[in-house]
Amino acid sequence: MKIKMLIVAGLLAATAGTAFAQAPAGGGMAACREDAQKFCADKSGPDRRACMEANKDKLSDACKAARAARAAGQ
């Protein structure tokens, strides 16, 4: 039973490593966290997305890149 758990844990660790390796530079949408707090702190869900779109010219370069990558399906 312990061996099965070790195998499962190893597979999960390997899978997580692969997922992190594929994440875009800058942490993906985490790159927008500060911008979301700065411009849209009082919004959530679809309202926050609309707020971010309304403020897209003010966003940091890292956030703009993350949004572009997400829009491109990466």
How confident is residue 8, by pLDDT bands cut at 50, 70 and 90?
Answer: low
65 contacts 35 by C-beta, under 8 angstroms: no
- Per residue in 21-71, pLDDT tens? 344 444 578 999 999 999 999 999 999 999 999 999 999 999 999 999 999
56 contacts 64 by C-beta, under 8 angstroms: yes
Identify the residue whose tokens are 């039973």: 1
Output Rg (C-alpha) for the chain, integer angstroms: 17
- Region for residue 73 given its phi and psi (left: phi exceeds 0; alpha: psi -120 to 50; beta: otherwise): left
40 contacts 51 by C-beta, under 8 angstroms: yes
Is the pTM above the cut of 0.85? no
